[in-house]
């Protein structure tokens, strides 16, 4: 049976009227309330990684810090992948900020595959590091055992896929990449369909912390050769992070990836620019609130004054640091204490002999000389 255009139009009008009446009955007054400029005032949209990682939790912490109930609000948006987050930040209307993975940005910059990349966004701050996890079954004893084996590396364009490709290239190890969401990949590993799962996420990653000891899965250590150490931050996974995957008193060497809180290229005379500027002021001024219990422990890794070489800081963020540099920077004594704690943690995690106070001072002085060299052009 067919309907002519007049009857179809009448039918459509009748259906629409019915739907509008139904929505009025379900939510009285909602349809009659137009969206006003006031509803959008002070809104900052922040795009994060997928829900398998911790960046959505970080965004929630920021939202609770900034939201004043009327004039300021952060709206988290769950992104699809690391590369897509960059594309959305540059191209989509409404995405004001995004959390971006630094090795992905560095790779794009080296490949020169995105014209004008360095000026397509600015950044507010360097954030925490996210750890690379390589999970495998009992047959895989070392990274070398994964040669020509199936390794899940997240979806195409994800932060995990970027890091895994770069890391395995540095190791000169050829794998068979499998592209899937982390949750699906874990099920495939359990079923024996793949040999390992790579996952980049801040430790302890909820997805992996829930693993049970009877699953006979374990983390595979990443060999820390010179090329890898020059590219990534060496770190460890231990039993405190994953009690069901790492035996007590032991640790697994791996690497960590840096993250940036990036800002879209906004014109200074726009409301979006002012909204992000207000966000920066609250974030920086009240940053120490995020170090209190109830917030994610990764906030303790962040130094607001730390720079991201090669990238431009959002002007209001730079202006705040110029005015309040003493507040944002870690004091030399605090840095020395943190360095000593790191040495103690590292030795304990690896079962080594405790470092003497004299050796700590010597190593710290070497670190300061290295740091001074890094800051030179």
pLDDT in tens, 269-313: 999 999 999 999 999 999 999 999 999 989 988 989 988 988 999
The CA distance from 354 to 371, in Å, is 24
Give the pLDDT score at 242: 93
Query: Percent of the chain, pLDDT > 70?
Result: 79
The CA distance from 345 to 343, in Å, is 5
**Which sign, positive or negative, has the C-alpha torsion 316, 322, 325, 327?**
negative
Residue 18 CB-density burial (10 A; 0-12 exposed, 13-18 middle, 19+ buried): exposed
Nearest to 114 by CA among 82, 85, 87: 87
- Beta strands at 73-78 and 233-238: parallel, antiparallel or unpaired: unpaired
Instruction: Note whether 145 and 223 are within 8 A (CB).
Output: no
Instruction: Note whether 152 and 180 are within 8 A (CB).
Output: yes
pLDDT reading at 350 higher than 70? no
Q: Give the residue with greater pLDDT, 49 vs 293.
A: 293
Confidence tier at 363 by pLDDT (50, 70, 90): confident
Give the pLDDT score at 58: 93
| Phi and psi, residue 349, nearest 5° | -65, -35
Average of per-residue pLDDT across 245-258: 91
Instruction: Note whether 266 and 314 are within 8 A (CB).
Output: no
pLDDT reading at 338 higher than 60? yes
Cis peptide leading into residue 269 (ω within 30°): no
What are the b/e assignments for 223-241, b being 16+ CB within 10 Å? eeeeebeeebeebbbbbeb
Average of per-residue pLDDT across 350-361: 71
The CA distance from 352 to 308, in Å, is 33
- Span of 29-38, 75-84, 98-107, 232-241 with lowest mean pLDDT: 29-38
Instruction: Please name the residue ranges forming H helices in 27-158.
Output: 37-40, 55-66, 82-91, 102-111
The CA distance from 173 to 165, in Å, is 10
Q: Give the residue with greater pLDDT, 344 vs 154.
A: 154
Total residue length of the chain: 377
pLDDT reading at 103 higher than 70? yes
| Placement of tokens 């710290």 in the chain | 364
Give the pLDDT score at 14: 43
Instruction: Note whether 231 and 248 are within 8 A (CB).
Output: no
pLDDT reading at 362 higher than 80? no
Give the pLDDT score at 356: 77
The CA distance from 232 to 250, in Å, is 22
Give the pLDDT score at 264: 96
* DSSP tag of 81: -
Give the pLDDT score at 368: 60
Q: State the architecture of 34-329 in CATH terms.
A: 3-Layer(aba) Sandwich (3.40)
């Amino acid at each position: 049976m067919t309907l002519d255009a007049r009857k179809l139009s009448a039918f459509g009008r009748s259906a629409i009227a019915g739907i509008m009446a139904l929505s009025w009955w379900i939510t009285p007054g909602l349809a009659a309330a137009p969206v006003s400029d006031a509803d959008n005032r002070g809104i900052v949209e922040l795009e994060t990684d997928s829900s398998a990682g911790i960046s959505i939790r970080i965004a929630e912490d920021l939202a609770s810090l900034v939201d004043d109930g009327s004039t300021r609000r952060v709206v988290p948006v769950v992104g699809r992948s690391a590369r897509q987050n960059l594309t959305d930040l540059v191209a989509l209307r409404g995405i004001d900020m995004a959390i971006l993975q630094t090795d992905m940005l560095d790779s794009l910059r080296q490949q020169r595959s995105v014209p004008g990349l360095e000026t397509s966004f600015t950044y507010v701050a360097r954030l925490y590091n996210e750890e690379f996890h390589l999970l495998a079954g009992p047959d895989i004893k070392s990274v070398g055992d994964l040669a020509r084996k199936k390794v899940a590396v997240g979806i195409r364009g994800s932060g995990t896929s970027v890091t895994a490709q770069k890391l395995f290239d540095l190791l000169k190890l050829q794998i068979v990449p499998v592209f899937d969401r982390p949750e699906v990949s874990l099920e495939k590993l359990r079923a024996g369909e793949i040999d390992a799962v790579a996952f980049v996420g801040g430790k302890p990653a909820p997805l992996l912390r829930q693993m049970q000891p009877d699953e006979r899965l374990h983390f595979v250590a990443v060999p820390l050769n010179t090329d890898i150490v020059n590219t990534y931050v060496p770190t460890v996974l231990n039993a405190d992070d994953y009690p069901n995957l790492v035996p007590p008193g032991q640790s697994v060497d791996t690497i960590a990836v840096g993250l940036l809180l990036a800002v879209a290229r906004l014109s200074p005379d726009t409301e979006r620019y002012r909204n992000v500027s207000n966000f920066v002021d609250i974030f920086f001024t009240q940053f120490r609130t995020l170090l209190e219990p109830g917030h994610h422990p990764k906030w303790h890794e962040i130094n607001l004054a730390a720079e991201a070489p090669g990238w431009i800081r959002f002007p209001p963020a730079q202006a705040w640091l110029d005015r309040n540099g003493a507040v944002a920077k870690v004091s030399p004594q605090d840095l020395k204490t943190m360095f000593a704690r790191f040495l103690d943690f590292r030795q304990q995690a690896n079962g080594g002999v405790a470092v003497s106070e004299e050796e700590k001072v010597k190593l710290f002085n070497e670190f300061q000389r290295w740091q001074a060299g890094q800051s030179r052009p």
